[in-house]
Amino acid sequence: MQKPSLKLLTAFGLCIVTSLGNTAFAAPCAPADTKMVGHYYLEGVMEVGSELLLRPDGNFEYALSAGAMDLAAHGCWSRTGERVTLISAKQGGPIDIHPVTTMSNDGTGSPESMIPVPLVDDFSGPSPHDSVTVAVGRIKGTEIHLDFVDGSSVSKVVESGDQVVFTHAKSSAIKRVGIKLSFKGEALRWFDNNEPSRRLFLFSVDTSSLTPQAFPRLELKTSGADRLVIASEEMGQGGTYVRH
């Protein structure tokens, strides 16, 4: 099975970020055994892909994909003798929305490798069709609002696809863009526009806080210099994480 990515799973318009690597932990962890630090991949389990990242500052990041199920965890890790223990931090937190201005490719050529990068505006200049496009990813039911400098406003709801096009948008400059995600408890959030000629808006939406927690605690046993064997019975599937 193909290894899951701990990078950004996104394509043009499909700007949903599930990045493990930018997580804000609830409390600092104690520095851990540097001999065990590294990036591990699960081996020996059919139809399951999993990665484990052990950091020298005592933080860990974990992802598992099995069929349609995706799990994740982050928190603190420590080593005592042959045992490596992972203690997960509490899941949850706000869904982050970040405006981006262009997309770059990481070199693999696949749609999943399109990564949003905040660079200088590449989309200045008026649109010949006077339309406005807002891309927020395939999150059905998301509300998109446009406020214009002349005081008028328009709105649409994402029904399908990964973007909304206002085909008959007013020629007045856009003052701000509002986004209300369709997830429970989400409020309308506004983003000011400082470029009057802009007609294309891209947003990355970090939904990693919605991913179910993989485990509250996981015990691993060292096996040589680069292997960690799952020792916790609750994980069930067994297997070995090998450092690469």
pLDDT, one tens digit per residue, over 127-150 is 444 688 888 877 888 999 999 999
Q: Is 36 helix (H, G, I), strand (E, B) or coil?
A: helix
Burial class (CB in 10 A: 0-12, 13-18, 19+), 66: middle
DSSP state, residue 81: T
Model confidence pLDDT, tens digit, residues 34-58: 999 999 999 988 889 999 999 999 9
Rounded to the nearest 5 percent, the helix, strand and coil shares of the chain are 5, 45, 50
Mean of the per-residue pLDDT values of the chain: 75
Mean pLDDT of 209-231: 88
Pick from 8-12, 47-51, 181-185: least confident: 8-12
Residues 77, 86 contacting (CB under 8 angstroms): yes
Domains of the chain: 16-92+210-243 (2.40.128.360), 96-206 (2.60.40)
Instruction: Pick 172 or 50 by higher pLDDT.
Output: 50
Q: Please indicate, yes or no, whether the overall pTM of this predicted structure exceeds 0.85.
A: no
Which run of H or of E encompasses 105? strand 102-105
